[in-house]
Amino acid sequence: MDIATIVGLVAGVGLVTITVLMGGDARIFWNVPSIVLVLGGTMAATLLNYPLKDVLSVLNTVKNAIIHKETSPEQLIEKLVGFATVARREGILALESHAGEASDEFLEKSVQLAIDGTAPELIKDILTTEIAFMEDRHTLGQSVLTAMGTYSPAFGMIGTLIGLVKMLASIEDPSGIGAGMAVALLTTLYGALFANVLFLPAAGKLRVRTSGELLSKEVIIEGILSIQSGDNPRVVEQKLKAFVSPVIRERISIGRK
Amino acid sequence: MDIATIVGLVAGVGLVTITVLMGGDARIFWNVPSIVLVLGGTMAATLLNYPLKDVLSVLNTVKNAIIHKETSPEQLIEKLVGFATVARREGILALESHAGEASDEFLEKSVQLAIDGTAPELIKDILTTEIAFMEDRHTLGQSVLTAMGTYSPAFGMIGTLIGLVKMLASIEDPSGIGAGMAVALLTTLYGALFANVLFLPAAGKLRVRTSGELLSKEVIIEGILSIQSGDNPRVVEQKLKAFVSPVIRERISIGRK
Amino acid sequence: MDIATIVGLVAGVGLVTITVLMGGDARIFWNVPSIVLVLGGTMAATLLNYPLKDVLSVLNTVKNAIIHKETSPEQLIEKLVGFATVARREGILALESHAGEASDEFLEKSVQLAIDGTAPELIKDILTTEIAFMEDRHTLGQSVLTAMGTYSPAFGMIGTLIGLVKMLASIEDPSGIGAGMAVALLTTLYGALFANVLFLPAAGKLRVRTSGELLSKEVIIEGILSIQSGDNPRVVEQKLKAFVSPVIRERISIGRK
Amino acid sequence: MDIATIVGLVAGVGLVTITVLMGGDARIFWNVPSIVLVLGGTMAATLLNYPLKDVLSVLNTVKNAIIHKETSPEQLIEKLVGFATVARREGILALESHAGEASDEFLEKSVQLAIDGTAPELIKDILTTEIAFMEDRHTLGQSVLTAMGTYSPAFGMIGTLIGLVKMLASIEDPSGIGAGMAVALLTTLYGALFANVLFLPAAGKLRVRTSGELLSKEVIIEGILSIQSGDNPRVVEQKLKAFVSPVIRERISIGRK
Amino acid sequence: MDIATIVGLVAGVGLVTITVLMGGDARIFWNVPSIVLVLGGTMAATLLNYPLKDVLSVLNTVKNAIIHKETSPEQLIEKLVGFATVARREGILALESHAGEASDEFLEKSVQLAIDGTAPELIKDILTTEIAFMEDRHTLGQSVLTAMGTYSPAFGMIGTLIGLVKMLASIEDPSGIGAGMAVALLTTLYGALFANVLFLPAAGKLRVRTSGELLSKEVIIEGILSIQSGDNPRVVEQKLKAFVSPVIRERISIGRK
């Protein structure tokens, strides 16, 4: 899990909690039926909107995108150039023992394909297809999460309206108005919180991740094909550096000389 | 009807009903004139916006899209490979008796065209046209439902404004304010509910379904043309697997060996 | 005027009127200054936004689009095939006496061009240009009506704010608050009504109509060119059926046999 | 200044003024600090958003677009055909004395280029470049005005919030609530007014003007090139009529015969 | 820092401060927990949405875009033509001593590449890549700032809801309502202020800057390549003037004659 996600989550939840706790009885903010209505309603609308398997797959996609540690492009290039050096010196089969080092599943698979002597076109085909389906999954995930970020405040408002109608319909004792309205407003608060601390940032993260992973995977394909064709490590390095910005290029320190 | 739709509908309606029932007299939430105004107004604006036949056709499209059980791509591929085996072994006419097995109307029609010895280009042409008109229907359906999802909260607000004006214009007895306002807010509640539990999710479902059906129908066309051209079942399988993700490919178990 | 427009208008206006009349004095809802402010303000902003001639032409476009009875594609195809039969049997000049039957001005003009022996390329050119300018008019109409649908609630809100400021600035007698606020809310109500019962559905209808008319006009051009080139009525029928969905194709009954 | 702009401005300002004046003390609506906050805040945010020179150039663009009387396409075509007749009869240099008649600066410049014997490709190049930069200016103007139309209600709301906080923080005398809230709401009113009577319609007008001017300028380029190449006035007329709709074509009366 | 940014910032902050100070105790507007919640919440959601390094890089991008003084295109063209004159008279190596004059880092780098005798294609390649990554940075910056401009009012509303619930849940003394509500509204005010005075204008400025810098950098590339190829200063001038509008062209005064 990258540090921004942790910091963001802790800061977001923490700040709201502190604000809630400050100067008063925080128990009024804990209202299970309201939470159930907002989360449940959001889930219900999402299930009406998307097939069950798509909604379930989103959980997985998000989990992967957040927990899975992204390898930085510079580390990736260094590793691929390292592989190229090994393959050049000891032959491509020598990568067998290094494939395990690849912290990245896609890289591992790519290396394995190269070791197995798969034809370059086929390697490219297999890996490109996998990228395309990865993109599909992420796009689906974004649209599901964005839908949740839209339904969540809507059910917050629905809950508040239900609460207001109940309260207004039975005002005998005006002194109860305050408490009734407080409870009614809670669902709107929950709806806004879930949307802005959970669903919308997650959708955004998925979009950012997609482009990041896309870049990494393209670097890997280019690198593996270059290694397989027997390119000199320096050539591999040149080819891969074309994918990253000049600033990142300078950060790459190949363990040479 | 797929399970997500049932779960979503039961959960959505159930949660709102429970929230309404909790701790009080639920009858105040049942207000026929408000429901009539919101649904009727939404319908009226939709009829002003779209021709009658388009609005009616949407009901049908939605019904089909929701009730009609989608054949999963893996089942479809298995069935088509099965057909290829039969056609290979006993001749294409032998599919006559199997066409009935096709739970899918489009598949049945495709098989029939192949059996009738229709020229491949014509088969492709006929089926592609049908897909294009299916897409048109779904796109129309989405736009009608999205319009309904926009008009519905608008008429909810209109109803609430009418209620507020009535109530405010005749406050003699301040004690009646609460009840009057409760009734006024009901239409906004209905408008939000219809939009978020009915119209918008249905529009979303239709969009998701379109791409699903499109894939299925393209698999069928490719499969039928491949079978008609006398391809080996293994070749048919290869061709069709190119349409689905690696994960799904592994789930396909052809009854061979 | 198509039936959906009538039903929609009657239902929309009727429902709102009934809701207003129910249980109380409806006169409070009739406030001429509020109506003048909302409609006048909307008109003023629209005139600032569009040239006078464009705004005036919209009225015309909408009137035409709504009152003008659309010929269904199936009727159109039947009529064109009928013309083809006549032209084939008695020569193209014989259409002179039938041109009047064409309930459609565009069809009449097309037939006249064919009778006059205009060159096919020129016919196509003239008619295609007319279609392009029809599309321009409709697109302009849509954008004007959508602008009106946006300005209308804005001026509703402006009116309500003016009303609220007036009322709040002179509260001596709290018992007058209710009535003052009721009047203030009326403009918001009017703004929402005009937008959702008038401007936005009209803009939507215009968009739907555009594609409908486009199809009809393309069928006519294809049909007239086919007739002029002396095609057999069956060939004309085949060519024109390609424009419509399989469902509609079956509904076409040519008076043959 | 075209008539729609005058009518729109008078009607918009007039209606709001009358509504304000009706039945009460209108002075409460005149609140200089509120106006300064809304207009000043909008300006401040716009200056943060755009470079100073762009914001200043918008004033100019809007002034030109509104004050500058657009020549109708039919008048333009008549004038160009007239020029063609003169050029044909007395030689292109004879246009020297007529160039002054051109109420349009762009037309004048075009005629001058033709008289100077500039090569056709160069004329086309110079004039097309000028059109492209005109489009850039207008697009910039639209985006600045749309931004203003977005910031204006935002600062209206900011002002109202400041007013509400002030008022609420010092309620000792509940009788002052009304007046305080009235003042607070004024900024929201101003924000809505400036956006809907000024900024948004001006942005819209600019967009409409762009396409109008584009057409005029294209007609001029085509016309001048045709005249320079020595085309017969009838040929010039034919070429230019292709730019306008059939309806406008019939309105063009060339002073011939 | 360009003057519009300073004026905008001073005016925006100044106006709001004055409005706050006017006629009352301004201390009520200073509420640290509210500021922390809005800014912190916005930051938290942004960190959930974007990787840490992207969020940090935005600060840098904004700082550069705002502080860095943009060279006007006319100054740039004058300087490049000056360089061309020097290179023509004294040889390209003579630019060595002038490279320092280039107030622009990109220009300095371009001149250095030319002096070093880098091949033209390589110069173009290096500089174009740098432009592409500059665009990427700016686009990322815009999307981060726009996200902040969306999260900021959302957390403003969340804070207000928390404040309202607290206040309503503990009304014993109705006289405290005013003060409680004032504090609750503060977060909405902060949210709106940060969005409209900070985040959204900064996002807009970045977008405007991108196109401005793009133009400058393209002028530089064209100019350096033209100088390197030994073009006459007048030719260089002609080539570069094609990038700017006729109005700016006239403002360029080359120190010749």
pLDDT tens-digit profile of D221-255? 999 999 999 888 999 998 898 888 877 888 887 65
Q: How far apart are CA E85 and CA E91, in angstroms?
A: 9
pLDDT digits (tens, 9 = 90+) for A111-140: 989 988 889 999 998 899 888 888 888 899
For residue B51, the chain C residues in CB contact (below 8 A) are: 2, 4, 208, 212
Q: Is residue B172 predicted with pLDDT exceeding 70?
A: no
A40/B15 touch (CB, cutoff 8 Å), yes or no:
yes
What are the structure tokens assigned to B95, written together? 């599919």
Please name the residues between 122 and 151 in chain B that touch chain C, using a CB distance below 8 Å: 129-130, 133, 136, 147, 151
Q: Is residue B176 predicted with pLDDT exceeding 50?
A: yes
Question: Average pLDDT of E164-179?
Answer: 76
pLDDT digits (tens, 9 = 90+) for D49-62: 998 888 888 888 88
pLDDT value for C257: 38
Q: How far apart are CA B158 and CA C155, in angstroms?
A: 15
Q: Is residue C66 predicted with pLDDT exceeding 80?
A: no
C251 touching chain B per CB within 8 A: no
D9/C48 touch (CB, cutoff 8 Å), yes or no:
yes
Q: Is residue C1 predicted with pLDDT exceeding 70?
A: no
B147/C2 touch (CB, cutoff 8 Å), yes or no:
no
Question: Average pLDDT of C235-257?
Answer: 79
Nearest Cα of chain C lies from the Cα of B95 at a distance, in angstroms, of: 25
Residue pair D49/E9 in contact by the 8 Å Cβ criterion: no
Residue pair D163/D187 in contact by the 8 Å Cβ criterion: yes
First to last CA, chain C: 35
Q: How far apart are CA B107 and CA B90, in angstroms?
A: 20
pLDDT bracket for residue B190 (50, 70, 90): very high
| Residue corresponding to tokens 């500039």 | D118
A174 touching chain E per CB within 8 A: no
Q: Is residue B171 predicted with pLDDT exceeding 70?
A: no
Q: How far apart are CA C11 and CA C62, in angstroms?
A: 20
Q: Is residue E256 predicted with pLDDT exceeding 60?
A: no
The per-residue pLDDT of chain B, averaged, comes to 86
Question: Average pLDDT of A143-150?
Answer: 95
Q: How many CB atoms lie within 10 A of CB D182?
A: 23
pLDDT digits (tens, 9 = 90+) for C164-176: 988 888 766 666 6
Q: How many CB atoms lie within 10 A of CB B253?
A: 8
Listed residue (A210, A211, A217, A219) closest to A249, CA to CA: A219
Maximum distance among all alpha carbons in chain C?
89
Q: Is residue C101 predicted with pLDDT exceeding 80?
A: no
Q: Is residue E117 predicted with pLDDT exceeding 70?
A: yes
Question: Average pLDDT of D131-146?
Answer: 90
- Neighbouring chains of D at 3+ CB pairs under 8 Å are C, E
Residue to substitute from A48, A57, A106, A148, interface B, most B β-carbons within 10 A: A48
Residue pair A220/A80 in contact by the 8 Å Cβ criterion: yes
Nearest Cα of chain E lies from the Cα of D167 at a distance, in angstroms, of: 8
Nearest Cα of chain D lies from the Cα of E52 at a distance, in angstroms, of: 25
Residue pair B191/A157 in contact by the 8 Å Cβ criterion: no
Question: Average pLDDT of C202-218?
Answer: 88
A243, closest residue in chain E (CA to CA): E129
User: Where are any strands of DSSP class E within C48-109?
Assistant: none
The per-residue pLDDT of chain A, averaged, comes to 86
pLDDT value for E154: 96
Q: How far apart are CA C253 and CA E138, in angstroms?
A: 62
Residue to substitute from E2, E19, E207, interface D, most D β-carbons within 10 A: E19
Q: How far apart are CA A213 and CA E58, in angstroms?
A: 21
- List of residues 6+ apart from E92 with CB closer than 8 A: E114, E115, E227, E228
How far, rounded to the nearest angstrom, does the alpha carbon of residue E10 sit from its chain's CA centroid? 17
pLDDT value for A1: 56
What is the per-residue burial (b if ≥16 Cβ within 10 Å, else e) of E12-24?
beebbeebbeeee
Residue to substitute from D60, D165, D166, D172, interface E, most E β-carbons within 10 A: D165
For residue B45, the chain C residues in CB contact (below 8 A) are: 8, 12, 196-197, 200-201
Residue pair B38/B182 in contact by the 8 Å Cβ criterion: no
> Nearest by CB to C155, which of D28, D196, D204?
D196
Least confident of A242-251, B169-178, B234-243, E77-86: B169-178
Q: How far apart are CA B135 and CA B124, in angstroms?
A: 16
> Nearest by CB to D154, which of E22, E23, E192?
E192
B162/C29 touch (CB, cutoff 8 Å), yes or no:
yes
pLDDT value for E257: 38
Nearest Cα of chain E lies from the Cα of A119 at a distance, in angstroms, of: 32
Q: Is residue D38 predicted with pLDDT exceeding 80?
A: yes
The per-residue pLDDT of chain C, averaged, comes to 86
Question: Average pLDDT of C125-130?
Answer: 88
Q: How far apart are CA A165 and CA A157, in angstroms?
A: 12
What is residue E68's three-state secondary structure? Answer: coil
Question: Average pLDDT of D182-208?
Answer: 92
Q: Is residue E24 predicted with pLDDT exceeding 80?
A: no
Listed residue (B27, B49, D51) closest to E72, CA to CA: D51
Gyration radius of chain C's alpha carbons: 26
A210, closest residue in chain E (CA to CA): E50
Question: Average pLDDT of B17-32?
Answer: 82
Residue pair E139/E206 in contact by the 8 Å Cβ criterion: no
Alpha helices in chain A (DSSP H): 3-21, 32-49, 52-67, 73-90, 96-99, 105-115, 120-169, 177-193, 200-228, 233-241, 246-251
pLDDT digits (tens, 9 = 90+) for E66-113: 776 677 888 889 999 999 999 988 888 888 887 766 677 888 889 989
D97 touching chain E per CB within 8 A: no
Least confident of A101-105, C246-250, E118-122: A101-105
Residue pair C79/C102 in contact by the 8 Å Cβ criterion: yes
pLDDT value for E151: 96
Q: Is residue C69 predicted with pLDDT exceeding 80?
A: no
What are the structure tokens assigned to E121, written together? 């294609």
pLDDT value for B51: 85
- Neighbouring chains of B at 3+ CB pairs under 8 Å are A, C
What is residue E160's three-state secondary structure? Answer: helix
pLDDT digits (tens, 9 = 90+) for A195-216: 999 999 999 988 888 888 888 8
Least confident of A131-135, C77-81, C109-113, E244-248: E244-248
A35 touching chain E per CB within 8 A: no
Least confident of A192-201, B148-157, C232-241: C232-241
Name the range with the highest mean pLDDT among C7-11, C43-47, C99-103, D71-75.
C43-47
Listed residue (A202, A213, A165, A153) closest to A12, CA to CA: A202
C195, closest residue in chain B (CA to CA): B154
Alpha helices in B22-104 (DSSP H): 32-49, 52-67, 73-90, 96-99
What is the per-residue burial (b if ≥16 Cβ within 10 Å, else e) of A67-95?
eeeebbbbebbbbbbbbbbbbbeeebeeb
Listed residue (A39, A31, C7, E147) closest to B52, CA to CA: C7
pLDDT digits (tens, 9 = 90+) for B84-108: 999 988 888 888 887 766 677 888 8
Question: Average pLDDT of E135-159?
Answer: 93
